Amino acid sequence: MRTPDQDAIRGVAADLRAGGVRFDEARVIHRGSSIVIGDGTRVARITDDDTSTAEATLGRSIALGASRAPVLEPAHARPIPTRLGTATVWPQGRTPPDPLRNLGRALAALHAVDDVELPRRPAARNLLRARLRELSGVGVDEFVLSELMGIAAVLPEETSWHGDGNAVVHGDAHTGNIIWFEGKILFLDTSTVGKGEPRSDMVPAWCAARRGQRGWEAWEEFRDGYGPGAADLRDWEHLDEAILERELLTTIFLAEQWQTRPWVRDEIVTRLRTWESPERGDRWNTGD
């Protein structure tokens, strides 16, 4: 989504107040596939989701919170239509200390939850196809788009691990999706949460280690937080497929952000140029 100007932000704040949420002077605190604005006490996450999709996300967060999962619960139980899209409202937390280690701890706690009913995570290829279709309509360079489609074609028709496991998995477990709130480390954005293979949740941390600036030091911090179970990732027979899925999704996200963040163009070019052997070229910026 494009970054709104200050008039649009004030308009959204007025829409939120009309929907029954106290929302004072606000500013943009995150922009990406969604826009997040905050007033110091609460944040509103604005997406292109329809009302039913937003309601499902809120309901999932409430159910997980009732199961004592490390998940942030909403500050308002219903989505609110705004002039920029559908808004859901949440308490505003703080950036967590020691993020990689705390990401591991939060994941271990999430994977231990066993008293909540959730649907299975969707197959990777279906999600990638949908994301690439979205990209084709937002002005992404045709060369970049064709390269991404070619990489996606390498994935199996239905990546096999998605039928494995019955743990609660987050689906997008990176350090940007945890916060520190009321003395606890909690996950944000439950739109990707479902039942599945817990090792798939470790792959973002693995990719950050494999491609990022800090290397294996980052992985060791995550593993220390998660505990002994993280060691099983190296023996997972579907690790290469899961890495390909994760890195392709991240690169698709960056390509979408090319519209509003010109600096990501160089990152996309680096990823495509060094896709097969990234260690031989420039290190990837994975946000760690």
Residue 184's domain is classified under what CATH number?
3.90.1200.10
Same domain, 105 and 248: yes
Split into its structural domains, the chain has a count of 2
Same domain, 106 and 236: yes
Q: Which of 91, 125, 147 is the endpoint of a domain?
A: 91
Domain containing 43 — which CATH number? 3.30.200.20
Q: Which of 91, 108, 124 is the endpoint of a domain?
A: 91
Residue 161: which pLDDT band, with cuts at 50, 70 and 90?
low
131 located within any domain: yes
Same domain, 30 and 53: yes
Same domain, 49 and 190: no
188 located within any domain: yes
User: Cα Rg for the chain, rounded, in angstroms?
Assistant: 19
Number of helical (H) and strand (E) elements in the chain, helices listed first: 9, 9
- Position 174 scores a pLDDT of 92
For residue 53, give its domain range: 6-91
Same domain, 256 and 221: yes
Residue 240: which pLDDT band, with cuts at 50, 70 and 90?
confident
6-36 pLDDT, tens digit per residue, is 899 999 999 999 999 998 888 998 877 788 9
Instruction: Please give the Cα distance from 89 to 43 (Å, whole number).
Output: 6
Same domain, 168 and 224: yes
Dihedral over Cα of 59, 202, 212, 96: its sign? positive
Q: Hey, how many other C-beta atoms are within 10 angstroms of the C-beta on 87?
A: 27
Same domain, 53 and 182: no
- Position 124 scores a pLDDT of 66
Same domain, 257 and 161: yes
Instruction: Please give the Cα distance from 83 to 73 (Å, whole number).
Output: 24
286 located within any domain: no
216 torsion bin: left (phi>0), alpha (psi -120 to 50), beta (else): alpha
Mean pLDDT of the chain: 87
Q: Is the pLDDT of residue 219 over 80?
A: yes
Same domain, 103 and 11: no
Same domain, 106 and 174: yes
Between 54 and 245, name the one with better pLDDT. Answer: 54
Residue 146: which pLDDT band, with cuts at 50, 70 and 90?
confident
Q: Is 237 exposed, middle or buried (0-12, 13-18, 19+ CB in 10 A)?
A: exposed
Residues 188, 113: contact at Cβ < 8 Å? no
Q: Which of 40, 70, 91 is the endpoint of a domain?
A: 91
Same domain, 158 and 227: yes
251 located within any domain: yes
Same domain, 146 and 261: yes
